[in-house]
């Protein structure tokens, strides 16, 4: 995961400049037109094919997956009167989640977190919502909004198809918001495994993984915190696009966003405290090692003194200061007995003091 992952224009570029990014993935356009009991789906080759659906008295959802090229984006901009700055934000990946109101349409940039194997990835999803249309641009080649499409396809699902485009916008934002829960669940499992490992067998590899996890949590907080603010702004704005009976659904979506931020903050605090656990575990392990070495050294100090005394070998038959033990018949076993007695006494003393 790079520290800086934003696609941007060169400084001094005119506002509204559209420059396509290089990618090997293919772009696909999926259109759903619905009203009441009517649901129609089409795979489109170009954006210009959407023109026929604009004249109908229905709701139109245009889903573009994969990297969108500048020509397709210009065609959509001319067809739906999309603002140049909003189109520029679509191509410039790494944008901060936000909500912009342009006359009779709403432009939203949302962040969808997901795991690509073992790597955290934050996908920028751009949404344009008007009175009877919604345009969603997602850089992923595989469509993550298939669950919403299945709900529209359900027979007699008038609860969805009879509502305005604001309910479809809620369904999309709800899916984007709730995509953070599986990611946080994975983070929780990782933190639990790291905590057990830090308490039992702290290693440098665990510390490296912990720093990587803290970095991912920080990046996730950076993108999800403004997304909560964007949802709050969307709920409080005075616009005819959001109907009163749909606000309760947006409030539920905002509630999920608040829960996610709270979980994220608690995980960040846990990761920070686990760093203290690692340092304490390493310090405790060092103290245990030093205690064992100190006990061994303390035991050998008197033993070294004993063998040092009897290793001087000062012996003279006429001197009263000579060592009489050197001539004893059981002198050598006596020294070994003294060494064993001193060792046993020290071990008993250490255990009595709970030092070992």
Could you report the per-residue pLDDT of 250-290, keeping only the tens digit for each?
Answer: 999 999 999 999 999 999 888 888 888 887 877 877 888 88
Q: Which of 26-35, 140-149, 176-185, 233-242 has the lowest mean pLDDT?
A: 233-242
Position 3 pLDDT exceeds 60? no
Give the best-scoring range by mean pLDDT among 8-12, 90-94, 178-182, 198-202: 178-182
Let me know if domain 28-281 sits in CATH 3.30.460.20.
Answer: yes
**Residues β-bridged to residue 125:** 110
Following DSSP, what letter does each residue of 150-178 receive, concatenated? HHHHSTT-HHHHTS-HHHHHHHHHHHHHH
pLDDT of residue 244: 86
Q: Which of 14-23, 79-88, 96-105, 218-227 has the lowest mean pLDDT?
A: 14-23
Using 50, 70 and 90 to split pLDDT, how confident is the model at 7? low
pLDDT of residue 11: 61
Position 1 pLDDT exceeds 60? no
Phi-psi label, residue 66: left if phi above 0, alpha if psi -120 to 50, beta otherwise = left
pLDDT of residue 180: 92
How far apart, in whole angstroms, are the C-alpha atoms of residue 70 and residue 88? 9
Report the chain's mean pLDDT, rounded to a whole number.
Answer: 84
Smallest Cα–Cα separation from 49: which of 69, 28, 70, 24? 28
pLDDT of residue 313: 72
Write down the residue that tokens 């751009």 correspond to. Answer: 126
pLDDT of residue 19: 60
The helix (H) or strand (E) run that includes residue 34 is strand 28-35
Position 316 pLDDT exceeds 80? no
pLDDT: is 7 or 166 the higher one?
166
C-alpha pair distances (Å), 46 with each of 63, 71, 145, 244: 12, 10, 20, 36
Position 46 pLDDT exceeds 80? yes
Using 50, 70 and 90 to split pLDDT, how confident is the model at 23? low
pLDDT: is 22 or 154 the higher one?
154
Residue 34, both tokens = 């619905």
pLDDT: is 288 or 3 the higher one?
288
How far apart, in whole angstroms, are the C-alpha atoms of residue 161 and residue 132? 12
Position 4 pLDDT exceeds 60? no
What b-and-e string marks burial along 225-236, b requiring 16 or more CB atoms within 10 Å of the CB?
bbbbebbbebee
Who's near 304: CB < 8 A, 6+ residues apart?
A: none
pLDDT of residue 129: 92
Mean pLDDT of the 166-171 span:
92
- Decide the pairing of beta strands 59-65 and 133-138: parallel
């Amino acid at each position: 995961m790079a520290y800086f992952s934003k696609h941007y224009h060169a400084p001094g570029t005119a506002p509204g400049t559209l420059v396509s990014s290089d990618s090997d993935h293919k772009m696909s356009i999926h259109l759903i037109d619905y009203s009441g009991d009517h649901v129609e789906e089409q795979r489109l080759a170009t954006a210009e094919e959407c023109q026929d659906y604009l004249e109908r008295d229905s709701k139109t959802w245009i889903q573009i997956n994969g990297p969108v090229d500048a020509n397709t984006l210009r065609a959509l901009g001319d067809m739906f009167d999309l603002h140049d700055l909003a189109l520029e934000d679509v191509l410039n990946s790494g944008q901060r989640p936000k909500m912009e109101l342009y006359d009779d349409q709403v432009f939203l940039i949302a962040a969808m977190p997901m795991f690509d194997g073992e790597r955290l990835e934050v996908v920028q999803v751009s949404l344009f919502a008007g009175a009877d249309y919604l345009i969603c641009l997602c850089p992923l080649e595989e469509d993550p909004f298939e669950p919403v499409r299945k709900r529209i396809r359900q027979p007699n699902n008038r609860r969805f198809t009879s509502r305005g485009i604001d309910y479809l916008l809620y369904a999309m934002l709800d899916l984007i918001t709730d995509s953070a829960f599986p990611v946080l669940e994975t983070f929780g499992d990782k933190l639990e495994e790291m905590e057990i490992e830090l308490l039992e067998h702290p290693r440098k590899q665990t510390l490296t993984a912990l720093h990587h996890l803290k970095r991912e949590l920080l990046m996730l907080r950076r993108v999800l915190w403004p997304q909560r603010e964007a949802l709050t702004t969307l709920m409080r704005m005075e616009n005819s696009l959001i109907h009163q009976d749909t606000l309760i659904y947006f409030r539920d979506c905002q509630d999920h966003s608040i829960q996610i931020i709270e979980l994220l903050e608690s995980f960040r605090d846990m990761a920070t405290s686990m760093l203290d656990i690692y340092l304490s575990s390493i310090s405790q392990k060092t103290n245990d090692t030093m205690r064992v070495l100190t006990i061994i050294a303390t035991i050998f100090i008197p033993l070294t003194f004993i063998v040092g005394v009897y290793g001087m070998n000062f012996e003279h038959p006429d001197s009263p200061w000579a060592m009489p033990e050197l001539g004893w018949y059981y002198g050598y076993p006596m020294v070994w007995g003294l060494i064993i007695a001193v060792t046993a006494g020290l071990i008993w003393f250490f255990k009595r003091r709970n030092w070992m």
